[in-house]
Amino acid sequence: MTIHYSKDHEWIEFAEEHEAATVGITLHAQEALGDVVFVDLPEVGKRFAQGEVAGVVESVKAAADIYMPVSGEVVEVNEALRADPSLANSDPMGQGWFFKVHVDQKDLGEFDQLMDEPDYLKFAQNN
């Protein structure tokens, strides 16, 4: 399993070729937002292109768009997160995931445009 990161501070974990990839916000993003109070998750079955807004997260400080890190179709949303948005703060890389997306074979190359963890950590320090 490999986690990739976007410049918009989302992470995506792609386990195996035929499994859905899991998407969430990074630790850096949740720290910048502060206490998350609401999440607007995408509709299951909706397809998004890489970079499109797929949801919104609202905190006591601000609201921020959630961008699709790679093109794909949403196959599951985290209902636990909808019920308890604070999971995005307490466990952003685990139980606080946002949605799962099926990535078509033709779109797998989009992962190459994302960062690995060392590159993302350097990026996040400056942004």
Q: 20 in a domain, yes or no?
A: yes
In contact, 48 and 85? CB cutoff 8 Å:
no
In contact, 45 and 73? CB cutoff 8 Å:
yes
Q: 22 in a domain, yes or no?
A: yes
127: which 2 tokens?
A: 């942004």
Amino acid identity for residue 85 in this structure: P
d(CA 14, CA 104): 12
Confidence tier at 108 by pLDDT (50, 70, 90) = confident
Residues 6+ apart with CB under 8 A from 122: none
In contact, 25 and 88? CB cutoff 8 Å:
yes
Q: 70 in a domain, yes or no?
A: yes
Q: 76 in a domain, yes or no?
A: yes
Q: Indicate the DSSP class of residue 35.
A: S
In contact, 126 and 59? CB cutoff 8 Å:
no
H/E stretch holding 27: helix 27-33
Overall number of domains in the chain: 1
User: Where residue 78 sits, what CATH number does that domain have?
Assistant: 2.40.50.100
Q: 122 in a domain, yes or no?
A: no
In contact, 74 and 81? CB cutoff 8 Å:
no
pLDDT at 10: 97
In this model, does residue 126 exceed pLDDT 90? no
Q: 113 in a domain, yes or no?
A: no
What does pTM read for this prediction? 0.94
Give the structural domain span for 69.
2-105
Q: 117 in a domain, yes or no?
A: no
Q: Could you read off the pLDDT of 49-100 as tens digits, one per residue?
A: 999 999 999 999 899 999 999 999 999 999 999 999 999 999 999 999 999 9
